Amino acid sequence: MSANLLLGLSPILIVSLGALLLMMAEALSKLRNEARESPSSSLAMGSAVVLASGGVASLALWLQGPDNLMEARAALAPWLLIDRFSLFFFVILTLGAFLTVLLAGGYLPEHKLDRGEFYPLVLLSTAGAMALAAAGDLLTMFIGLEVMSLGVYAMVAFRRGSPRSVEAAMKYFLLGSFAAALLLYGGALLYGATGKTDFSSISFQLAHTGYANPTNLQQLAWENSTPLMVIGLILVVIGLAFKISAVPFHMWTPDAYEGAPTPATTFMAGAVKAGAFAMMIRVLMMAFGDVRSASWGSGWPPVLAALAVATMTVGNLIAGRQESVKRMLAYSSITHAGYMLVGVVAMAGTARAEANGAVLFYTLIYTISTVGAFGALILCGSRGAEAVSYEDLAGLGKRNPAVALALSLFIFSLAGIPPTAGFFAKLYLFKAAVSGDYIVLTVIALINTVIGAYYYLRVLVFMYFREPLPGAPIAKPMKSGHVAIALVFAALLVLALGILPSKTLQAALSSTISG
């Protein structure tokens, strides 16, 4: 039994034990000569290996089928649910973190931030995100969320000397705590309303206290608990919407993304968002997936649809006004959260399984593409000559064609232009929304992709069609094996999944939640 349990938990265990080991290694390595050997050189690869093994373990479990681990699942449920859904997200999370540490391996030494604690922070946050993705209970959800977030707060403040970084971290921390408090409060209300903390029981209560079995007592119980349920649901959703930076809970995003060191930004835009999305889907589908709560007429779908429309549109329109590429990417990540929310809404429709697969696939592709875009941006600049604004990128296509090509590829994927995977992810997501009968929502999303093309293309215009103004500061591309490996890997994935998406999409489709 215990062996089975360990096997079921292995992805999270590998990552967290790896984090502890690396922390030890880092502490002991203070003995070495720092002048000759930088912490990043060993830690980046070390944590990449840890994350890769975590990812491989998740993949192996996915392939083997979690149904073969019934004992472990029984022992872990309802706190952690090891099903295909969480395993798919484990792969996304470890992949995102894997690319992040590789980027950090190049970025931190270049920018003289080379302190070893970054890597254990990434690993621990990832472990938190994995717990979040697998949580089946309000309590594990909160613990997972906090474990994930605390690490990220520290990562945002990693550039201790820079007031901007510290301010960003402070903002993120304060608002994040605020959101966490809302989430906790929502959880408390849900507990008050149902007397349960795990999602399946909450769902059971919801299904059995409504008009469906209209004995008077039960009906009374339902009516009494309705306001609590509604506020509880909304607060939990908002706590998670904050992490995925849905409008109007997005305001911290550009500041935090810009102030943080770019690898931390990457992690926030990729893994943190993916973890929060996993949780959001699970809460909505497991706890509030009953017919009444998940119907357009009486449940959360319109709320989420409003959130999706606001998120897409506002993110998109403001992104177009940015002069800083990093801020543009921040707003673009908001927009993408909006698209994914469209998919989540679609899950409440008739094409639930399809929408589930579409959102999972989209999350995967979005994570790779956005990490790739930030990574390429890292590679575009070097210390003192960072690539921040569009102007910095002027003429990069000539100065360094390889970097420019990589950045264009990821930008294409984000913009959804074939043959990159981003196109396919969008197509399938919108197709799922259409099958779920959300045509208006899809049309709004499509219009947004048209608007989005404008600011994505501006990057290309500056790289390929502009010469730098004389005397203006230009970004000088840095050299780093770590970053190059990460980018090549991500680029191959983006292309391969754009041309041969079938297997992965099928995997995403079969990665459903099983209570």
Partner 1 sequence: MPEYSGPLQNVELSNTLWLIPLLPFLGAVLNAVLGWRLQRSPWGKEQAKKLHIGHLGVSSIALGSMLIAFAMSVAQVARVVSLPHDRRFLYNHLWQMVRVGTFDLSFDLSLDVMSSVMLLVVTGVGLLIHIYAASYMETEPSYWRFFSYFNLFIFSMLLLILGDNFLVMFFGWEGVGLCSYLLIGFWYKDYKKATAGMKAFLTNRVGDFGFITGMMILIWGLGGAWASGEYVPDQLPRLVAVTVDDAAHAEHGNATGSHDAHEKASGHDKADSHDKADSHSKADAHDKADAHGKDKADPRAKGKKEQSFVPGDPAYLTFTAFGGAKVIVDNNTTQPLYAPIVHHNVGAGRHTFKVIMGGATEDLEVANAMFQPNKETHLAAIGPVLSFHNLSDQMAIRNDKGVQPFKEGLAGKRLWGLSLITLACIGFFIGATGKSAQIPLYVWLPDAMAGPTPVSALIHAATMVTAGVYMVARLNFLFSMSPTACGIVAMTGAATALFAASIGFFQYDIKKVLAYSTVSQLGFMFIAVGVGAYWAGIFHLMTHAFFKACLFLGSGSVIHGMHAVEHDADRAQDMRIMGGLKAVMPLTRRTYQIACLAITAAPIPLFAGFWSKDEILWKAFTTQNTGWAPGPLIYLMGLAAALGTSFYMWRSYYLTFEGKPATKDIPKKVHESPNAMTWVLATLAFLSTFGGVVFGFSSHFYGGHGEPLLEEWLHPALRHAQVAFQDQGLAMEHALMWGSVGLAILSWRLAKKRYGPDRPKNWEELESKLPMFQLIHDKYRIDELYQATVIRAVLVLRLVLRDMDKYVVDGIVNATGVATRATAFVNGAIDKYLVDGAVNLVAGVTLRAGNRIRQVQTGRIQSYAYGLLGGVAALALLQFLIRYYAR
| Contact set for partner 1, span 274-293 (CB under 8 A) | 292
List the one residue out of 99, 275, 260 whose CA is nearest residue 169: 260
Please select the residue that binds partner 1; options are 21, 435, 444, 495, rule is CB under 8 A. 435
Site for partner 1 in 187-226 (CB under 8 A): 226
Beta-carbon neighbour count of residue 443 at 10 Å?
13
Span of 16-24, 86-94, 412-420, 472-480 interacting with partner 1 by CB under 8 A: 412-420
Site for partner 1 in 494-513 (CB under 8 A): 499-503, 505-506, 509-510
Alpha-carbon dihedral sign for residues 269, 274, 280, 283: negative
Tally of CA atoms within 13 A in the half-sphere of 3 that contains its CB: 1
State how far the Cα of 340 lies from the Cα of 404, in Å rounded to an integer.
28
Q: Which of 252, 277 has the CB closer to partner 1?
A: 252
How far out from the chain centre does Cα 76 lie? 24
Please select the residue that binds partner 1; options are 275, 373, 428, 474, rule is CB under 8 A. 428
Is it true that the peptide bond before 301 is cis, omega within 30 degrees of 0? Answer: no
List the one residue out of 395, 406, 418 whose CA is nearest residue 468: 395
Span of 18-26, 92-100, 115-123, 444-452 interacting with partner 1 by CB under 8 A: 444-452
What SS3 class is residue 13?
helix
In angstroms, what is the minimal distance from the CB of 497 to partner 1? 10
In angstroms, what is the minimal distance from the CB of 412 to partner 1? 9
In angstroms, what is the minimal distance from the CB of 461 to partner 1? 6
What SS3 class is residue 489?
helix
Q: Which of 453, 472 has the CB closer to partner 1?
A: 453
Site for partner 1 in 41-80 (CB under 8 A): none
Beta-carbon neighbour count of residue 192 at 10 Å?
12
Tokens matching residue 464: 């390929």
In angstroms, what is the minimal distance from the CB of 454 to partner 1? 6
In angstroms, what is the minimal distance from the CB of 171 to partner 1? 5
Residue written as token pair 């890597």:
119
In angstroms, what is the minimal distance from the CB of 451 to partner 1? 7
Please select the residue that binds partner 1; options are 214, 467, 470, 471, rule is CB under 8 A. 467
- In one-letter notation, the amino acid at residue 460 is L
Q: Residue 258: left if φ>0, alpha if ψ -120 to 50, beta else—which one?
A: alpha
- In one-letter notation, the amino acid at residue 160 is R
Please select the residue that binds partner 1; options are 437, 473, 484, 489, rule is CB under 8 A. 437
Residue written as token pair 């062996």:
3
Task: Decide: 428 and 508 in contact? Cβ < 8 Å.
Answer: no
Site for partner 1 in 389-408 (CB under 8 A): none
Please select the residue that binds partner 1; options are 28, 35, 217, 450, rule is CB under 8 A. 450
State how far the Cα of 58 lies from the Cα of 118, in Å rounded to an integer.
24
Please select the residue that binds partner 1; options are 60, 70, 74, 174, rule is CB under 8 A. 174
List the one residue out of 410, 412, 336 whose CA is nearest residue 379: 410
Q: Which of 31, 450 has the CB closer to partner 1?
A: 450
In the chain, the N- to C-terminal Cα span, in Å, equals 21
- In one-letter notation, the amino acid at residue 152 is V
Site for partner 1 in 133-172 (CB under 8 A): 167, 170-171
Tally: H helices and E strands in the chain: 21, 0
In angstroms, what is the minimal distance from the CB of 264 to partner 1? 19
Q: If binding is defined by CB under 8 A, does position 466 make contact with partner 1? A: yes
Task: Decide: 396 and 123 in contact? Cβ < 8 Å.
Answer: no
Q: Which of 227, 481 has the CB closer to partner 1?
A: 227
Q: Which of 118, 424 has the CB closer to partner 1?
A: 424
Site for partner 1 in 300-339 (CB under 8 A): 300, 302-303, 306-307, 313-314, 317-318, 320-321
Beta-carbon contacts of residue 302 (< 8 Å; ≥ 6 apart): 296
List the one residue out of 358, 238, 352 whose CA is nearest residue 306: 238
Q: If binding is defined by CB under 8 A, does position 469 make contact with partner 1? A: no
Q: Which of 135, 508 has the CB closer to partner 1?
A: 508
Q: Which of 78, 418 has the CB closer to partner 1?
A: 418
Q: Which of 220, 453 has the CB closer to partner 1?
A: 453
Q: Residue 437: left if φ>0, alpha if ψ -120 to 50, beta else—which one?
A: left
Please select the residue that binds partner 1; options are 17, 221, 434, 444, rule is CB under 8 A. 434
Q: If binding is defined by CB under 8 A, does position 410 make contact with partner 1? A: no
Q: If binding is defined by CB under 8 A, does position 431 make contact with partner 1? A: yes
Write the DSSP string, 278-331: HHHHHIIIIIS-STTTTSTTTSSHHHHHHHHHHHHHHHHHHHTT-SBHHHHHHH
State how far the Cα of 511 lies from the Cα of 515, in Å rounded to an integer.
12
Q: Which of 27, 181 has the CB closer to partner 1?
A: 181
In angstroms, what is the minimal distance from the CB of 14 to partner 1? 28
State how far the Cα of 382 lies from the Cα of 370, in Å rounded to an integer.
20
Q: Which of 374, 410 has the CB closer to partner 1?
A: 410
Residue written as token pair 């970053």:
483
Q: Which of 79, 185 has the CB closer to partner 1?
A: 185
Please select the residue that binds partner 1; options are 454, 479, 481, 496, rule is CB under 8 A. 454
Q: Which of 175, 212 has the CB closer to partner 1?
A: 175
Question: Mask of contacts with partner 1, 223-252, x by CB under 8 A?
Answer: ---xx--xx-xxx-xx---x-----xx-xx
Please select the residue that binds partner 1; options are 55, 357, 372, 422, rule is CB under 8 A. 357
Contacts with partner 1 by CB under 8 A: the residue count is 80
